[in-house]
Structure 1
Amino acid sequence: MAGSGIDYEALFAVTPSPYMVLGPDLVIADVNEAACRVTGRSREDLLGRYLFDAFPENPADPDAEGVRNLHASLQRVLRSRQPDTMAPQKYDIPVAGQPGVFEERWWSAINTPVLGPDGQVVWIIHRGEDVTSFIRSRRPREDTALSDAEAMEVELYARARELRRLNEELGQAHARERQVALTLQEAMLRSPHLARHRDTAVRYLPATGSLNVCGDWYEVVDLPENRYAVAVGDVVGHGLEAAAVMGMLRSALSASVLALEEPASALDVLGLYARYVEGALATTVVQAVVDTRARRITYSSAGHPPPVLLHQDGSCDLLDQATDPPLGARPEHVPRPQADLPYTPGDTFVLYTDGLIERRGEDIDAGLQRLTDALARHARHGPERLADALLAHLGVSSGARDDIALLVLRL
């Protein structure tokens, strides 16, 4: 309040609840004394660090979901511009001064956006209350795992809170529709091979104002002889109809590249199939195959924005030498072109859909230049941090007018 004489910086510093202030790129901008005390970390150790670098996943707990759930909550805040209350989470934290040692901790968190004059999220206030003692008081054993009954209780609690939030925002009928849509989307985007590629980050942002479903997709498929295929695609339109078409095309392309193993041949088959799928025409897609033994990328594009190969020195190569029209654009079948290029271990391969770079009334070259500038600026980041930095730098952390799929792979 202007002229109130209240020192808000001092209030923030001494408030008893732990608070962190995050930028849209999830880098820690400020912490109060309570946050330092409860995490056992100093301000100097936390400020300027990517949140999930400062508080990584516990490698000794393969079932840990704290990092994934917190990241999903923060992304919801960026997209919706609304606060997000999380159910109690088990999120172990590193013990200060003991590398590789983690302490079991449980948290109750609320993530609140701070909007700028343009309505975009400029900060996220993360409040994380340590509820470890409460959780332990309800568990007679000393082991770290919840019993089945306790796990069910936590799960039911989380679902109940989420359902109440949906009902408040959308009304009960709309909430059911959205849940069905999200379940459908998650099922269609399930990628069993993706989990094998640890140095890979995926971001999926439906257009703002949608049901949180869209026609963009990504896929990773392992192939024989030290190779794997990666693809991103974009069906025209939004919502459930586009998502349904996306599911059919994504499955068809995955099957094709498994059988044929050549990007251009796989797109040839997909183009023929698309002629018989209502709503599939004019879909854009890029398919690439990474050969880790030969250290080469082979690719073919059906009208899609070019992927980028980011080198460790910050320079970039656009994969734009094998581009053909979108699916169904030609009245007769013509074999699609294919190209390849070498890479160096440590390079980063970035695939995306047009919502990441295209802006109304602007030439696409301007968007591509903005993308490569952002990649050069953040070339030293790992895939997860690079993905968040790209969305923040390009102004789409909270979503955009069009859907966005982003796939970042460290080669």
Structure 2
Amino acid sequence: MRDSGTDYGAVFQALPGPVALLTTDLVYVDTNEAFLQMSGRTRDQVVGRYLFDVFPNNPNDPTATGMRNLEASLRRVAATGKRDTMALQRYDVERPDRPGEWEERYWSPVNAPVFGPDGRVALLLHRVEEVTELIRARSGRNGGDRARVLEADLYTRARELQEVNERLRHAHAREREVALSLQAAMLPAPVPVGRGRAAVRYRPAGGALNVCGDWYDLAELPGNRIAVAVGDVVGHGLAAAGVMGQLRSALSAAVRVADGPAAALDALGLYARSVDGAESTTAVQVVVDCDGHSLSYSSAGHPPPALLHTDGTVAFLDQATDPPLGARPEHTARPQAGTAFTEGATLVLYTDGLIERRREDIDTGLRRLADCLAHHGPADADTLADTVLAELIPPGGNTDDIALVVVRL
């Protein structure tokens, strides 16, 4: 599309409907001619200015809700990356040639995200159709009782819709709070393991109402060995957090008695078949032999752990990857691989929220992680964990939960 020679700026201006582009801070970047004609504004009066400085609410109408509703919709699109079609809105407009004089206007807005190269919401597309004449036609062009009744009905419906949305937001926020508490109770606290210390970090998605089912687990095994695992349950909220707790506990128990990480994931896969909501869960299990300076690993569809060597090179543990839990109709033994390391190396396990971005190949995220680790080299676990999060989480925050485990070997 970008190499087709099409002038998309000209296409934008030629759109027959009124359209505007805004930053996520609600500042106008551009509008098409139809938008300027509809609003009665010039380009200089709009572009580069804050939305509600150009179109404030009518201060003479205490029941005016247009600005609040529109701002809530645009903020929601910026946070979630999802399009929002608004209910019919009354939003009076001040006449530019007569300050203080307001015209009663009715609008049908649609707000949509425009994504940047990093997969984050870069701009907001605001398309609006004016339906003032339609409302007047239905209520009688001369106004009167029918117009007042229709207007009152519109306000009533808008208030009812707003109340419903507020109740839903409160319910979702409460569920998020409970799910976060449940996750915190089920995830182990960082403890010294082996010859080093493990640093763990959990970052819930910044713009989401529900947390996801990411987890981590660390355990000391007989023979001066360390077991480290991370996993990710499909889904959100309390249900995903509950499944996460069951699977984490099951894998933590299995790795203590199984003959290696592949056998532990085999046992987890069989158990997951009896747990509703566990299908397609991803997980990776690593067992570190501290005396033998070697590690073995197995992955069930999870992004590969990274091994930061003492010379600053990075290797991904991707030689024993199998489908997620429950992906195969019949149970099949999972593969296992191993590698050696030098004392002072660092093992990094994580969930996909750390590396994945919308509309970006996962290899790009893996390269970004490898470059970060190689640039900073071996460091203490806490410092490296904080550095990785600081550099890899986008400025606008992570859109998916992140679990991160860093172990200095």
Q: Smaller-chain TM-score range?
A: 0.5 to 0.7
Alignment-mate amino acid for residue 368 of structure 1: L
Give the equivalent residue in structure 1 for 2:226: 228
Larger Rg: 2
Q: How big is the shift at 1:183?
A: 2.3
Q: CA distance change for structure 1 residues 399 and 242 in 2, over 3 Å: closer, same or farther? A: farther
Residue among 242, 254, 275 paired with 2:273:
275
Once residues 356 and 206 of structure 1 are traced to their aligned partners in structure 2, the CA distance between those partners, rounded to angstroms, is: 11
C-alpha RMSD of matched pairs (Å): 2.3
Once residues 182 and 250 of structure 1 are traced to their aligned partners in structure 2, the CA distance between those partners, rounded to angstroms, is: 16
Give the equivalent residue in structure 2 for 1:349: 347
Give the equivalent residue in structure 2 for 1:243: 241
Give the equivalent residue in structure 1 for 2:336: 338
Give the equivalent residue in structure 2 for 1:214: 212
Gaps of 5+ in 2: 1-78, 80-119, 123-167
Once residues 341 and 278 of structure 2 are traced to their aligned partners in structure 1, the CA distance between those partners, rounded to angstroms, is: 33
Residue among 186, 191, 197 paired with 1:195:
191
Q: CA distance change for structure 1 residues 380 and 268 in 2, over 3 Å: closer, same or farther? A: closer
**TM-superposition CA deviations, 1:296-327 (whole Å, max 9, x none):** 11000000111010012210111000000000
Alignment-mate amino acid for residue 379 of structure 1: G
| Structure 1 counterpart SS, 2:251 | helix
| Structure 1 counterpart SS, 2:404 | strand
Once residues 325 and 172 of structure 1 are traced to their aligned partners in structure 2, the CA distance between those partners, rounded to angstroms, is: 37
Once residues 172 and 370 of structure 1 are traced to their aligned partners in structure 2, the CA distance between those partners, rounded to angstroms, is: 37
C-alpha contact 1:181 1:211 (8 A) present in aligned 2: no
Give the equivalent residue in structure 2 for 1:302: 300
Q: How big is the shift at 1:410?
A: 0.4
Q: How big is the shift at 1:293?
A: 0.9
C-alpha contact 1:303 1:325 (8 A) present in aligned 2: yes
Q: How big is the shift at 1:184?
A: 1.2
Q: How big is the shift at 1:212?
A: 6.3
Once residues 341 and 301 of structure 1 are traced to their aligned partners in structure 2, the CA distance between those partners, rounded to angstroms, is: 15
C-alpha contact 1:353 1:405 (8 A) present in aligned 2: yes
Matched, 1:256 2:254: yes
Q: What TM-score comes out, normalization by structure 2 length?
A: 0.56
C-alpha contact 1:210 1:238 (8 A) present in aligned 2: no
Alignment-mate amino acid for residue 195 of structure 1: V
Q: CA distance change for structure 1 residues 265 and 171 in 2, over 3 Å: closer, same or farther? A: closer
C-alpha contact 1:231 1:286 (8 A) present in aligned 2: yes
**TM-superposition CA deviations, 1:100-142 (whole Å, max 9, x none):** xxxxxxxxxxxxxxxxxx999xxxxxxxxxxxxxxxxxxxxxx
Q: What TM-score comes out, normalization by structure 1 length?
A: 0.56
Q: How big is the shift at 1:175?
A: 6.7
Q: CA distance change for structure 1 residues 189 and 399 in 2, over 3 Å: closer, same or farther? A: farther
Q: What are the within-5 Å matches in structure 2 for residues 18-97 of structure 1?
A: none
| Structure 1 counterpart SS, 2:216 | strand
Q: How big is the shift at 1:397?
A: 7.2
**TM-superposition CA deviations, 1:335-365 (whole Å, max 9, x none):** 0000110111100000001111111111111
C-alpha contact 1:388 1:397 (8 A) present in aligned 2: no
Alignment-mate amino acid for residue 299 of structure 2: S
Once residues 358 and 206 of structure 1 are traced to their aligned partners in structure 2, the CA distance between those partners, rounded to angstroms, is: 15
Identical-pair percentage? 63
Once residues 395 and 216 of structure 2 are traced to their aligned partners in structure 1, the CA distance between those partners, rounded to angstroms, is: 18
Residue among 307, 314, 321 paired with 1:323:
321
Give the equivalent residue in structure 1 for 2:361: 363
Alignment-mate amino acid for residue 192 of structure 2: R
Tell me how many residue pairs correspond in the alignment: 244
| Structure 1 counterpart SS, 2:191 | helix
Alignment-mate amino acid for residue 207 of structure 1: A
Once residues 349 and 370 of structure 2 are traced to their aligned partners in structure 1, the CA distance between those partners, rounded to angstroms, is: 12
C-alpha contact 1:375 1:390 (8 A) present in aligned 2: yes
**TM-superposition CA deviations, 1:150-183 (whole Å, max 9, x none):** xxxxxxxxxxxxxxxxxxxx99877755543332
| Structure 1 counterpart SS, 2:310 | coil
Q: CA distance change for structure 1 residues 397 and 185 in 2, over 3 Å: closer, same or farther? A: farther
C-alpha contact 2:173 2:210 (8 A) present in aligned 1: no
Q: CA distance change for structure 1 residues 364 and 245 in 2, over 3 Å: closer, same or farther? A: same
C-alpha contact 2:217 2:230 (8 A) present in aligned 1: yes
Once residues 328 and 172 of structure 1 are traced to their aligned partners in structure 2, the CA distance between those partners, rounded to angstroms, is: 34
Alignment-mate amino acid for residue 387 of structure 1: A
